[in-house]
Amino acid sequence: MDTNLRVREAMRAAVRRRGLTHAQLASRLGIKQPSVTQLLNGTYGKIPQSLLEALDALGLEITVVESATADDADTAQAKAEAMSLLSTNPWGKKPAGLATPVEVKGPAIEDLLQEHRGPDL
């Protein structure tokens, strides 16, 4: 399998592992979805042949490996989305009508959880 095909297959596999759509990847890259499809299918943006020939002449090849920061980028994006949802209130949005404290009747929470507290030191 030539280098172009190996690189594109590795990219397609990474897209599948992350559960991304072509539209989501396009958004991350700042390009349109059809360009992502063309890139992954090999109809657009081939690695320059001169580079491949130079690598071959030197006995080198391109190896695609998972980036150590790949999961960090996904985690950072998920965290940013979660924080934007919570930006109006640290605990999210409260249901209407619960803005004022509600009296709760019954034993204190400490009494209910006594068996789970462990030994008193």
Q: What is the pLDDT of residues 71-116, one digit of tens each?
A: 666 777 777 777 776 665 555 455 556 566 667 677 777 777 766 6
Q: How many domains does the chain have?
A: 1
CA nearest neighbour of 64 among 3, 121, 7: 7
At which residue do the structure tokens 């071959």 appear?
56
Q: Would you say residue 39 lies in a domain?
A: yes
Q: Residue 53's CB: how many other CB atoms inside 10 A?
A: 10
User: Per 3-state DSSP, what percentage of the chain is helix, strand, and coil (rounded to 5)?
Assistant: 55, 0, 45
Q: Would you say residue 117 lies in a domain?
A: no
For residue 21, give its domain range. Answer: 3-71
Q: What is the CATH number of the domain that holds 30?
A: 1.10.260.40
- pLDDT tens digit string along 22-71? 998 888 888 888 888 888 887 766 666 666 766 776 677 788 777 766 66
Mean pLDDT of 7-11: 83
CA nearest neighbour of 27 among 36, 19, 17, 40: 36
Whether residue 120 is predicted with pLDDT greater than 60 in this model: the reply is yes
Q: Would you say residue 54 lies in a domain?
A: yes
Q: Would you say residue 99 lies in a domain?
A: no
- pLDDT tens digit string along 46-58? 666 666 766 776 6
Token pair for 108:
């204190």
Mean per-residue pLDDT of the chain: 73
Residues 6+ apart with CB under 8 A from 29: 36
Radius of gyration, CA atoms only, the chain: 26
Q: Would you say residue 32 lies in a domain?
A: yes
pTM as predicted: 0.48
Q: Would you say residue 44 lies in a domain?
A: yes
